[in-house]
Structure 1
Amino acid sequence: MSPISRQRQAVAAAIPIGSDHSVSTYSITRNIQRFLSHIRYENLVAGLSGGVISTMVLHPLDLVKIRFAVSDGLSMRPQYDGVLHCLRSIWQVEGIRGLYQGVTPNIWGAGASWGLYFLFYNAIKAYTQEGRSTELTAVEHLMSAAEAGILTLCLTNPVWVTKTRLVLQYNADPDRKQYRGMFDALVKIYQHEGIPGLYRGFLPGLVGTSHAALQFMTYEALKRDYNKYRKMPSDAMLSPWEYVAMAAVSKIFAVATTYPYQVVRARLQDQHNTYTGIADVISRTWSNEGAVGFYKGMVPNLIRVIPACCITFLVYENISRMLLGQCK
């Protein structure tokens, strides 16, 4: 009898006959162990690096996007005529520090989100493909990305709430600002609003996992089909410009499909307005601004996210291959 057969018999003997609970517990434990065996921390480091670098370069455009997203025309807040006017106004009133308000939680959030996302996504893909000779389908890529997004959001939502609050502090006088930094904001939100305050916008954030899922599905499909065209393995390394082009196309598709959820999420997290929930945000936005209200800030968002996505994916692909020893 082989060692593997003896091991299986020992495991079976250890589980009482008719004990559904024991069988279920053993099955869950085995599945968790299988999943954990596919964890590669190189993916975490590579994703984190890409997220941090792109955020440091492009944070001012993220700030502009959020300020446009919450601009409902009714609140007493600065009004801007466009992206350049917004950037110039913030620079004139608050200087370079104004353009980088909320950069600390943004770096933490983007770094952690991209790192965890690539970590979970690659582990889930490998777990799904375990024991199979065929490649994953588009739907399986979609589901893997969605599951990775949900896991990541559960861990990072408080950071995104903090970032939104910080970038929506408009007054240049530091003594009149509600929050003095990331950790001060985290503490104050928890003290005054509890755990629900740290998880404002979580439900539209869950909807937003469809954004990343669509993006990753498209990105994987583009890489696979392009390598088939080149008669190369589907995971063959591409040139920097090829990665950039595929990242840009996949991001444009995802943004165009899912942008309204970002407006809803930002407005729920806005400390200058009070909404009773998602339905209230949607109803008031539609009543006061029409369909265009759900796409406010989309132009500065595209200007920011396309290069950010390209930088992130390019850094990730190269660092992950270097760390995993896959460079040919």
Structure 2
Amino acid sequence: MSNISRQHQTAAAIPVSPDSPGSPFSISANLLRLFSHIKYENLAAGLSGGVISTMVLHPLDLVKIRFAVSDGLQMRPQYDGMVHCMRSIWQLEGIRGLYQGVTPNIWGAGASWGLYFLFYNAIKAYTQEGRKAELSAFEYLVSAAEAGMLTLCLTNPVWVTKTRLVLQYNADPSRKQYKGMLDALVKIYRHEGIPGLYRGFLPGLVGTSHSALQFMTYEGLKRDYNKSRKMPSDALLSPLEYIAMAAISKIFAVAVTYPYQVVRARLQDQHNNYSGLSDVMRRTWSNEGVEGFYKGMVPNLVRVIPACCITFLVYENVSRLLLGEYH
């Protein structure tokens, strides 16, 4: 018998331990343990927070995206600032114009926040399993990043659709490229295929660092604040305290990661053709310098800080109510 045959027989004779890290048994067991920590109350609470904040603040999101893609093309309306932009849209199309793309935004924000809180709390509980010590800042960061990646894989087509709808500048509904969310999804898929629905996915993956930094900061602030009060780290806080911690964590995350949002919006824009991530970055830097990567940041901050505060406040209270932890 040849050496190769003997080696194959020997390998086949060695049993695979269910406890081996790479074995199918181990992977299945770990997935089952992870799924055992899923609580759909977190999904409902996150969805509620995302939907409410989006309905209130969508016009500011529209303004932010229009500024983010303003790269000098003549086909785009020119705005002097946030107020001028909102007034111009109002004069051309009324309240309907300010709420262009609101349907995919509600779907996207609701689904994203719901799935994010669902995955994040499950991963966090899985990591915490069997330990008395609290998670470290790095473990919060990793848990939030993993939750963000899973969420983005499911929701990226919705965000592409929202961007396309928001960037329709014609006031005449009959001359608009997309009639609504479903029409946009179908047309993007028909003309651009799956890659079209996943435009901006790579910078979106980079953007998971935004949520990871935000959640790491938010969890750290809550933990340290409750320690200073000699309370459990997950003790219920007042609405004002949740708002303050959400705002601080959001400002920190935006300051660090905003340029990826500009790159992502430009990749998803139907009015310009980029060959990829490096092409967007090169042309933005060449034509606009460092300021190009921070276009729309002011309207973004004006929008995301209250949006974050509303989302986290609603989530914290609704989740505790559904989980029976509201005392």
Q: Which TM class, normalised by the smaller chain length?
A: over 0.9
SS of 2:37's equivalent? Answer: coil
Task: Return the alpha-carbon distance in structure 2 between the equivalents of residues 144 and 17 of structure 1.
Answer: 39
Task: Return the alpha-carbon distance in structure 2 between the equivalents of residues 148 and 262 of structure 1.
Answer: 19
Matched, 1:46 2:27: no
Task: Return the alpha-carbon distance in structure 2 between the equivalents of residues 119 and 60 of structure 1.
Answer: 27
Q: 1:10 maps to what in 2?
A: none
| CA displacement at 1:143 relative to structure 2 | 0.1
Of 17-26 and 180-189, more deviation after overlay is shown by 17-26
Specify the code of the residue in structure 1 equivalent to 2:264. Answer: R
Q: 2:16 maps to what in 1?
A: 20
**Residues 62-107 of structure 1: CA distance to partner in whole angstroms, max 9, x if unpaired?**
0000000000113421010000000000000011110000000000
| CA displacement at 1:194 relative to structure 2 | 0.1
Task: Return the alpha-carbon distance in structure 1 between the equivalents of residues 13 and 216 of structure 2.
Answer: 43
Matched, 1:110 2:84: no
Instruction: Summarize the alignment of residues 70-89 of structure 1 with structure 2, pairs less than 5 Å apart.
Output: 70-89=69-88
Of 24-33 and 184-193, more deviation after overlay is shown by 24-33
| CA displacement at 1:21 relative to structure 2 | 8.2
Matched, 1:135 2:134: yes
Q: 1:292 maps to what in 2?
A: 291
Q: 1:303 maps to what in 2?
A: 302
Question: RMSD of the alignment, in Å?
Answer: 1.1
Task: Return the alpha-carbon distance in structure 2 between the equivalents of residues 232 and 272 of structure 1.
Answer: 53
Task: Return the alpha-carbon distance in structure 1 between the equivalents of residues 15 and 127 of structure 2.
Answer: 28
Q: 1:180 maps to what in 2?
A: 179
Specify the code of the residue in structure 2 equivalent to 1:262. Answer: Q
Q: Which runs of 4+ in 1 moved over 6 A?
A: none
Q: Aligned residue pairs: how many?
A: 313
Q: 1:7 maps to what in 2?
A: none
Q: 1:268 maps to what in 2?
A: 267
Specify the code of the residue in structure 2 equivalent to 1:38. Answer: H
| CA displacement at 1:175 relative to structure 2 | 1.1
Q: 2:9 maps to what in 1?
A: none
SS of 1:259's equivalent? Answer: helix
Specify the code of the residue in structure 2 equivalent to 1:260. Answer: P
Unaligned runs of 5+ in 1: 1-15
TM-score for both structures, normalised by structure 1: 0.94
Q: 1:325 maps to what in 2?
A: 324
**Residues 217-247 of structure 1: CA distance to partner in whole angstroms, max 9, x if unpaired?**
0000000000000000000000000000000
CA spacing shift, 1:21–1:72, aligned 2, 3 Å? farther
Specify the code of the residue in structure 1 equivalent to 2:218. Answer: Y
Q: 1:31 maps to what in 2?
A: 30
Q: 1:280 maps to what in 2?
A: 279
Specify the code of the residue in structure 1 equivalent to 2:183. Answer: D
| CA displacement at 1:327 relative to structure 2 | 1.2
Instruction: Summarize the alignment of residues 220-231 of structure 1 with structure 2, pairs less than 5 Å apart.
Output: 220-231=219-230
Of 36-45 and 16-25, more deviation after overlay is shown by 16-25
Instruction: Summarize the alignment of residues 205-216 of structure 1 with structure 2, pairs less than 5 Å apart.
Output: 205-216=204-215
Of 249-258 and 22-31, more deviation after overlay is shown by 22-31
SS of 2:251's equivalent? Answer: helix
SS of 1:263's equivalent? Answer: helix
| CA displacement at 1:17 relative to structure 2 | 7.0
**Residues 151-193 of structure 1: CA distance to partner in whole angstroms, max 9, x if unpaired?**
0000000000000000000001111100000000000000000
**Residues 8-33 of structure 1: CA distance to partner in whole angstroms, max 9, x if unpaired?**
xxxxxxxx972338661111111011
